[in-house]
Amino acid sequence: MRKIIAVFISFVALLTMVSPLYTIADDTTNSAKAYVLMEPTTQTVLDSENADLRLNVGYLSKLMTILLIAEDIETGKYLMSTELTASSTVTGTKGAVVWLEAGDKMTVEELLKSVIIGNANDAVTVLAEKSEQTIEKFVMRMNTEVFDLGLRNTAFYSPYGYYDEREYTTAHDMAVICSQLAKYEFLRPYFKTWRDFVKSGQTELVSENRLANTYERHIGFKAAHSDETGYNIAEGGMDESGTCYISVVLGADSEDDMYRRAKSLIRSGFNDYKVTATMFPDEMLMPMKIRGGCDTAVEIVLRRQSRLVVPKSVGELSTAVVLPEYLTAPVKKGQIIGTAAFYSEKNLVCEIDIIAADNVEKLSLGYVLKKTLCNIIK
């Protein structure tokens, strides 16, 4: 027999939403093949169209390359100040380049700037070879990471973003990749830079994403275009409180449509939604009774406190806690005991597991004899 304990709690949003800096008309038409609006910390999809449609996104796939490089920097595989030497494989690199030749040396920071701001493919080669020795191994790692992120609609065939009809991703999967990128704050100054120089000022870098120069809430990512893929953008916007929204727009017919849709989606995030937390105190959960155990009860807790993205119109949330009347030993620490479900009116917003806080062994004859002997000795 199970019992349901309904607990009503008033939730106050942790973060104050601020009106966006840009006032643009709502889209009346949408030329994009797919788009997504996502809150990155929860990866909640707030608006979408054809979010899981597999598309080739060209140079936008280079964001996965940047993510792996960021991971290597974060884990100390190499430092920003580390000087790398270009191998002979940079010779004849297609697309955007910073004119590297075999034997040329650049720091990781300069190479990273060249990739993020200047889209430089020869800089990608140097970083990818440093990370995984060969381009082929780096691509294998890209796809392994994609799998580890739970993305099943993405496959990469190069770190550069060259057009390859075999390659595909989705608006949703690109938003998840950007959600990971948003965690690396040290990347933001490069993403937010529209124009810079490398190689002692001899080579100019100019970002393809004009939002890096015009949108004050811009924290990163990338815009790209080709005849085969159309206009594509992954854009992140953050307000003064640290709330962030990510929009991905794929296959738009024009640059203006791409930027208009990307900014409109992010604006709707800030205007229409708020980020809050469950904040359900563990103290409100009474210890669970145990039958046949070495202890008569065990403490229970939420597996995690959760962040939620809800419409600004939502007021109080209600919580329904579902638990059994008792447990039967043995009980393992972390064992799922029940659930806490959070509702806005009658709509389920979030469910969180309730787990055992400790182990409880099954009562045995050996345990009873041991306990009795200890009491006699005392």
For residues 103 and 33, is the Cβ–Cβ distance under 8 A?
no
The superfamily CATH assigns to domain 34-272 is: DD-peptidase/beta-lactamase superfamily (3.40.710.10)
Split at pLDDT 50, 70, 90, the class of 368 is low
How does pLDDT run across 133-149, given as a tens digit for each residue? 999 999 999 999 999 99
Structure tokens at 172: 């949703």
Residue range 280-307: average pLDDT? 86
* Residue-level pLDDT at 294: 87
* Residue-level pLDDT at 290: 94
Q: CA 262, CA 256: separation in Å to the nearest integer?
A: 10
Residue range 187-215: average pLDDT? 95
Q: CA 213, CA 215: separation in Å to the nearest integer?
A: 6
Enter the CATH code of domain 278-365: 2.60.410.10
Residue 340 — φ and ψ, nearest 5°?
Answer: -115, 120
**Closest alpha carbon to 206 in 118, 318, 294, 88:** 118
User: What is the sign, positive or negative, of the torsion defined by CA atoms of 77, 102, 90, 121?
Assistant: positive
How does pLDDT run across 234-288, given as a tens digit for each residue? 999 999 999 999 999 999 999 999 999 999 999 999 999 998 877 677 777 899 9
Give every CB contact of residue 203 below 8 A, 6+ residues apart in sequence. 98, 99, 114, 118, 197
> What is the average pLDDT score of the chain?
88
Residue range 204-232: average pLDDT? 95
In the block, tokens 């590297």 appear at 100
The DSSP code for 287 is: P
How does pLDDT run across 2-50, given as a tens digit for each residue? 443 333 333 333 333 333 333 333 444 678 999 999 999 999 999 999 9
Sketch the domain layout of the chain as residue ranges: 34-272, 278-365
For residues 259 and 249, is the Cβ–Cβ distance under 8 A?
no
Q: CA 207, CA 196: separation in Å to the nearest integer?
A: 9
Residue range 46-60: average pLDDT? 96
